[in-house]
Amino acid sequence: MASLEEEVVGDIWCNFEAYKNLVIMCDRFGSRFAFTEEEKLARDFIEKKFEEYGLENVRVEPFKYFGWKRGKASLEVLEPFEKKIPVISLVLSPPTPKEGLEGEVVYLGSGSPDEFKAKKDEIEGKIVLCSSAASPDGKRYHRRTKYGYAVEFGAIGFIFMNHNPGKLPPTGSLRPAYRMAGEIPAIGISMEDGEFIIRNMKGRRLRVRMYNESQIVPDATSWNVVGEIVGSKYPDDIVVLGGHYDGHDISQGALDNCSGVVSIMEVARTLAKHKGSFKRTIRFIAFGAEELGVTGSTCYVDQHKDEIPRFNMMINVDGGGRFIRQNFEVHGPEELVPYLQKIADEIGYPMKVKTTLSTASDHWPFYLEGVPAASLESVPDPMLEPLVRSMGRGWGHTPADTVDKVDPRALKEASLVLSQFLIRIANEEEFPIKHTEKKKILKYLEERGVAEQLRIQKKWHPESIR
Contacting residues toward Zn ion, per CB under 5 A: 256-257, 318
Task: Give least dist CB 199 to Zn ion, A.
Answer: 33
Q: Which is nearer to Zn ion, 185 or 293 (CB)?
A: 293
Task: Give least dist CB 113 to Zn ion, A.
Answer: 23
Task: Give least dist CB 242 to Zn ion, A.
Answer: 12
Task: Give least dist CB 290 to Zn ion, A.
Answer: 6
State the Rg of the chain over Cα. 22
- Residue 366, CB-side half-sphere exposure with 13 Å CA sphere: 31
Q: Which is nearer to Zn ion, 208 or 314 (CB)?
A: 314
Q: Which of 230, 283, 269 is nearest to 11 (CA)?
A: 269
Q: Are 292 and 455 in contact (CB under 8 A)?
A: no
How far apart, in whole angstroms, are the C-alpha atoms of residue 129 and residue 433?
A: 44
How far apart, in whole angstroms, are the C-alpha atoms of residue 181 and residue 192?
A: 29
Task: Give least dist CB 257 to Zn ion, A.
Answer: 4
Q: Which is nearer to Zn ion, 49 or 363 (CB)?
A: 363
Task: Give least dist CB 316 to Zn ion, A.
Answer: 9
Q: Which is nearer to Zn ion, 128 or 174 (CB)?
A: 174
* Angle at the Cα of 31 from the Cα atoms of 25 and 37, rounded to 5 degrees: 85
Q: Which is nearer to Zn ion, 157 or 243 (CB)?
A: 243
Burial per residue of 58-84, b for 16 or more beta-carbon CB atoms within 10 angstroms, e otherwise: beebebebbbbebeebbbebeeeeeee
Q: Which is nearer to Zn ion, 197 or 255 (CB)?
A: 255
Q: Which is nearer to Zn ion, 47 or 256 (CB)?
A: 256
Pairing, β 127-131 against β 157-161: parallel
Task: Give least dist CB 175 to Zn ion, A.
Answer: 17
Q: Which is nearer to Zn ion, 38 or 228 (CB)?
A: 38
Task: Give least dist CB 286 to Zn ion, A.
Answer: 12
Task: Give least dist CB 463 to Zn ion, A.
Answer: 27
Q: Which is nearer to Zn ion, 103 or 260 (CB)?
A: 260
Task: Give least dist CB 269 to Zn ion, A.
Answer: 22
Q: Which is nearer to Zn ion, 113 or 396 (CB)?
A: 396
* Dihedral sign from CA coordinates of 74, 142, 105, 93: positive
Position 155, amino acid = A
How far apart, in whole angstroms, are the C-alpha atoms of residue 135 and residue 146?
A: 11
Q: Are 207 and 104 in contact (CB under 8 A)?
A: yes
Burial per residue of 160-189, b for 16 or more beta-carbon CB atoms within 10 angstroms, e otherwise: bbbbbeeebbbbbbbbbbbbbbbbbbbbbb
Q: What is the dihedral of CA 20, 25, 29, 32, to 10 degrees?
A: -170
Query: Which positions ≥6 away from 242 have C-beta within 8 Å?
Result: 264, 284, 285, 286, 287, 297, 314, 315, 316, 317, 362
Task: Give least dist CB 368 to Zn ion, A.
Answer: 18
Q: Which is nearer to Zn ion, 317 or 445 (CB)?
A: 317
How far apart, in whole angstroms, are the C-alpha atoms of residue 290 and residue 197?
A: 32
